[in-house]
Amino acid sequence: MLLFLQNNIWTILLAFTSGGMLIWSFIGNRVRGIHDIDHIAATQLINHKNALLLDVREKSEFESGHILNSKHIPLGKLGERIGELEKFRERPIVVVCRSGQRSASACAYLGKQGFAHAHNLEGGVMAWQKASLPLEK
């Protein structure tokens, strides 16, 4: 057994690292305080709780198609434009990007700024489109 471990240490380390990364992908956002929601929950928040939809993609991405009534603030500008969101502090905010990665970072930032009701749209605009939900240009 010891000989096997010695001869295959890199393979074993790679397997543990891969496993750790896989586990982190499932629980990482929860650990960071990010609340992921799917397109159904997002639609319910928008329709029943008057949630703000915040699109953090770049301008060209936003212009190519965005969810109806989205407010556009690129992730790189969020810090300097946070004041624009002040009136939404107590409302739910659904944050969206292309795939859910940038919006997760935006949710973490919003949480640190005291926005307790920020939600990350899992899968982003790609998941929204896959569910055959509309975009506007």
Active site amino acids: 97
Residue 62 CA from chain centroid, whole number = 16
- Token pair of 110 as six digits: 């919003």
List phi, psi (to 5°) of 66. Answer: -140, 165
Which residues lie below 8 Å from residue 106, measured CB to CB, with a gap of 6+?
A: 54, 56, 75, 78, 95, 97, 118, 120
Measured distance CA(48)–CA(25) in Å, rounded: 30
